[in-house]
A = this chain, B = another copy of it.
Amino acid sequence: MHELKCKTMSKSIFYHAGCPVCLSAEHDIINLVGAENVEVVNIGENRNRIQEAEKAGVTSVPALVTPNGNTLHINFGASMADVKGSN
């Protein structure tokens, strides 16, 4: 359990909402960083992670939160307001 947590902490998190721009960027990020180094979270489906994403500074998707906590917004796909509105 402890080991799992440590591993998770050193990964980047890629937040997306399933849109075509998101999926294209996901593909590129995984190619660049390696699938083992990034956790992919679809906040359109996994809505209980929206708050965590916003807390990390994610204002649009796709976005990559780096292990040191910086948020990189990548090619604009959808605003968080759009994601939250799409039930």
Contact = CB atoms under 8 A, between A and B. Distances in A.
Interface of A: 12, 24-25, 28-29, 31-33, 37, 64, 66-68, 70-76
Grouping DSSP codes into helix (H, G, I), strand (E, B) and loop, the A interface class, with mixed when no group exceeds half, is mixed
Nearest to A66: B28
Copies held by the complex: 2
A75 B75 contact: no
Nearest to A25: B72
A31 B66 contact: yes
A74 to B, nearest CB: 5
A11 to B, nearest CB: 11
A73 B72 CA distance: 9
Contacts of A33: 32-33
